[in-house]
Structures are given as structure tokens and as C-alpha cells.
Amino acid sequence: MTRSLLYEGKAKKVYQTDQSNELILSYKNDATAFNGKKKEVFDGKGRFNNLISSHVFHYLAEHDIPSHFIKKLNDTEQLVKKTTIIPLEVVVRNRATGSIVKRLGFEENRPFHPPLIEFFYKEDALDDPIINDQHALLLTDATDKELEQIKAYALRVNDVLMNLFDSIGVTLVDFKLEFGRDLLGQIVLADEISPDTCRLWDKETDAKLDKDVFRQGTGDLLTVYDTILKRLEAIK
Ligand code: 5GP
């Protein structure tokens, strides 16, 4: 398969394949936080992100959530459908922690029933600010109907993934999704779902099994990503 580099982001490279509607996502070993201000290379990180994200997207497909994911190619790469990404970070929260505690003063760990959805504008130069639906309509080409569809998908993803993570002894605290339009113009889930993009806490001990250990310098990233992968592989 011939390939050419289309785009290099902080965590992944994207290659065009010889099929016009198929891309390769290649996961890098770089970990970044605080919009790239903190950076470190972890040998093997790309493999964990790829294998965990492939597992999660496969599981979502089995639960009828449309996404860009086609298949895992090897340890660090996956084949995906080409999409035009809508520049929104869609965050779903089941409990208060992280930026929402700082921003709005919610008590740490306060549960959200129903889960809370927030939109952030994906724009590094602005540090991904939180926005409302009207801002999203002005800043992106998403329609009202598409925003509603995105919110409905985000809640379905939350339901499905809460069950998946619960079955491996993990609480899904919050996570970030990205959506794109496929070549038919349909909204599909895109990007990755991994401990880089989710807060995952051990159900018994509340130990953090996600990128917060790197962001906060409180633990070993590779060890906790390995824990998540091993637990997911054990239920295959
Ligand atoms: P917070 O807004 O509390 O910082 O993050 C909420 C959730 O979304 C967390 O699970 C976090 O990992 C994820 N998230 C938010 N923004 C980003 C981002 O720019 N990159 C990544 N990888 N995850 C993000």
C-alpha cells in the first residue's frame, strides 16, 4: 500500500493511502499536555493508544455507533475512513473533575445525571475555549440538526462505554470525542478513544488509569495504559 503524509498532529500522523477514501492513522510515542507545553516521549505509547482505541472503536461498531474506524493494521497503525473533521471537542462528563471544577466550582466527584455535554472549539491558538451551541453554529459549518445528532451520539457512546469500562473494573469519569463527515456527508465518530482522551479511574481504588498521571506527574503512563489494555484484552 503506497502512502503519503497528509498531516502530523501532536499524537498521530495521518497518511493518505492509494484508496481515496481511506487514511492510515499512525500513533506516535509523544505525550503532550497543556496544549503542547508539557511534552515527553514514551517508547511503546503509540502501541497502547492504537490497540486500546482499536478495541474501543470495534466495540462501538458492535453497538451500532457509526465511526471512521475500518480496522487495526498493526501495533501502531489503523485504517480509517476519510472524514472532514468538525473542529469541536465534545466532552461528556459523568462526574465533576478537571476543568469543570476549576471553571465553575463544582465539588470534585459530584455526579452528573444526566451526563453533562460540553463543546470546546478545537483551535490551538485559542487554547480550545469552551463554547455554546450558537458559537458552534457560527464557528463551524455544522448545522443545528448535526449538533443535535452529535449530542445524541455522544450520549450513546457514553452509555456503551460506561458498560465496557465497568466490565473491566473501571469508572468512565469523562472523555472527549471528535466527529467528522464521511464522503457521503454523514456524521461519524472520528479521532481516537484511549486513556489520552478519557478519565478512567479504578472502580475499587479510584486510582487514575489515564493521561492525568502524566499531566499531574503522579504516576507512570506506560504502566497505567498497560493496565487498561490488559484488562480489555482479558474480556475479548
Ligand atoms: P477537561 O476539560 O476536564 O480538561 O477534560 C475533560 C475530558 O476530555 C478528559 O477526559 C480529557 O482527557 C479530555 N480532553 C479534553 N480536551 C482534550 C484534548 O485537547 N486532548 C485530549 N487528548 N483529551 C482532551
Task: Tell me the domains of the chain and their CATH numbers.
Answer: 3-81 (3.30.200.20), 84-220 (3.30.470.20)
pLDDT for the residue 1: 75
Which cell numbers in the block locate residue 123?
483551535
Give the ligand 1 atom nearest the CA of 122. Answer: 19
Q: What angle do CA 4, 8, 13 make, to 5 degrees?
A: 65
**Torsion, CA 100, CA 140, CA 77, CA 44, rounded to 10:** -30
- Strand, helix or coil for residue 152: helix
pLDDT for the residue 197: 98
pLDDT for the residue 31: 97
Task: Name the stretches of the chain with pLDDT < 50.
Answer: none
Q: Is the N-terminal amide bond of 114 cis, ω within 30° of 0?
A: yes
pLDDT for the residue 236: 67
pLDDT for the residue 2: 87
Q: What residues are in contact with ligand 1 under a 6 Å CB criterion? A: 89, 91, 98-100, 128, 174-176, 196-199, 211
pLDDT for the residue 3: 92
Ligand 1 center to residue 82 CA distance, Å? 23
Residue (of 16, 55, 13) closest to 30 by Cα position: 13
Ligand 1 center to residue 61 CA distance, Å? 23
pLDDT for the residue 168: 98
Give the ligand 1 atom nearest the CA of 198. Answer: 10
pTM exceeds 0.85? yes
